[in-house]
């Protein structure tokens, strides 16, 4: 999607935390940006759509999971990212949301993705945890945007989830 037609040049990303674990999707080999890399569900905002509506729509399209109530989406922040596609650079304006629930539904991906996995919110909460995990089990290949999201927002996401959970966040072990 190039920002033309029914879409504007705005993106939403959704950090979906299910029972203490963050959902990641593996981008398909035909993706224009970062094929084969792991990412959170995300996509373009359609013209006339609110960021919250776009987040719920994109999450449903990419995972098969319908967010039951938009008030469950918490805005984490907004940032700009310059992504390189071939020899071109495009400016992405990304609004990031958090959605969390204690349930862990079956994920039914769309054809944009080839796999899904859950990663412990605790594991993503610090560079040290992620480094130790990567050394022990092999580095996971996140998109550059998702690496930025992990660095900037996952410590906060982890603390938000930990403070509202009954102490049952998944451990890194």
Query: Residues 24-63: pLDDT tens digits?
Result: 999 999 998 899 999 999 999 999 999 999 999 999 999 9
Provide the CATH number for the domain formed by 7-164 in this structure: 3.90.79.10
Confidence of residue 8 (pLDDT cuts 50, 70, 90): low
Q: What is the pTM of this model?
A: 0.84
Place of tokens 């945007």: 145
Mean pLDDT of 69-98: 91
Q: What ranges do the domains of the chain cover?
A: 7-164
Confidence of residue 10 (pLDDT cuts 50, 70, 90): very high
Mean pLDDT of 130-158: 75
What percent of the chain shows pLDDT beyond 90?
45
């Amino acid at each position: 999607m190039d920002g033309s037609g029914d879409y504007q040049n705005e993106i939403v990303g959704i950090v979906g935390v299910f029972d203490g674990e963050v959902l990641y999707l593996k981008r398909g080999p035909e993706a224009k940006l970062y094929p084969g890399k792991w990412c959170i569900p995300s996509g373009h905002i359609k013209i006339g759509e609110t960021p919250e509506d776009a987040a719920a729509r994109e999450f449903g399209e990419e995972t098969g999971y319908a967010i039951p109530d938009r008030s469950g989406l918490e805005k984490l922040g907004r940032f700009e990212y310059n992504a390189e596609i071939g020899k071109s650079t495009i400016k992405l304006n990304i609004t990031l949301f958090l959605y969390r629930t204690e349930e862990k539904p079956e994920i039914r991906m769309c054809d944009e993705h080839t796999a899904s996995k859950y990663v412990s919110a605790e594991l993503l909460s610090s560079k040290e945890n992620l480094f130790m995990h990567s050394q022990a089990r092999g580095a996971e290949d996140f998109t550059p945007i998702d690496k930025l999201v992990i660095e900037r927002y996952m410590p906060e996401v982890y603390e938000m989830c930990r403070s509202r959970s009954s102490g049952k966040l998944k451990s890194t072990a």
